[in-house]
Amino acid sequence: MDGDDLRLDFIVDENYLVSHTLASAEHGRFSSEESKQDIAAFQRDAWQESKDCYQLLVGKSTPEVLTKSNLPGLSKSLSRFLESVKQGPSLANIYSQTIRYRNKCKKQWDRNYTRSNRIVHKVTGLNLNKSIIVYVTHPSLKNGQYMGGNRIGWGHNEDWKNYTTIYLWHEILHSYFDMKELDHALISLAIDEELRIRLNGGKYPPFQAHQRLQPLMKRILPYWKKYLVRDEHDILKFKREIMSIF
C-alpha cells in the first residue's frame, strides 16, 4: 500500500466498546446470538455497578461526550464507572472476542483491498486516498456508522461473503457525501449492490440496502444503469444530474 492509497486503522477502544455494548441492550440490536450470554452478563454487571451511569452512557454514542460534560460531578463519576467496569471479568470476555473479530476484519479487508479499491474507484471516480480509523465493536451487536472526522464505528455478524469489506466501503463513502437520503441511496447502489455483485456474483435487484431507501433506488436505477456504461465515472457529478431530474 503506497502513500496515495486508502488506509484503515482497526482499533478496539475500551471506552467506546463499553459504551456501544451497553447502548445495544435491546434485543433488536443483536446481529447474532453468539456470545449473547457474555454480553448480557456484562450489561448486568454494569447495571449493578451504577444504574445512573449506565443510563447516562447508553444515551450517548461515545463516552467522551459525557466525560467532557460541564455538568457538576458527572465526568468524575462516569470516569470511575468506566474504570470499574473495564476491570471486571465480564468485559474481559467481550474484549477478547472483539479483538479476535478486529483481526478477522483487518485480514478480510487486506485480502480484498486491491480488488475492491479498484472496483470502487472505477464505479465512483472518487480519489480514495485518506486515512480512516475504524472503531471495532463486538460482532454480535449491530454497528455501522460514519462518525465524522474520518472515523467509523463498525461491528456485525458476517452475514454473507465479504460482508465486512462491503459495508466498510459503504461507511467510507459517507465521508465523501452529504447525509441526505439521495446520498445514501447512491452509496447503496455503488457499494451494497454494485461492489457486492462484482465481488460475490449475482445481480440486483433485489436490493440488499435498507428497505426505506429501496423506493428511491428503484427510481434512480434506470439512470444508474446508463451511468455504469459510461467511459468515465464521476458519482458526485451523477448525483447533481439526478438532483436536476428529481
Whether the CB-CB separation of 38 and 116 falls below 8 Å is answered with: no
d(CA 161, CA 180) in angstroms, rounded, equals 28
How is residue 192 annotated by DSSP? I
H helix and E strand count, the chain? 11, 4
User: Please, what is the average pLDDT of the chain?
Assistant: 90
Q: pLDDT tens digit string along 187-196?
A: 999 999 999 9
Question: pLDDT tens digits for 84-95?
Answer: 999 988 999 999
pLDDT-based confidence at 207, cuts 50/70/90? very high
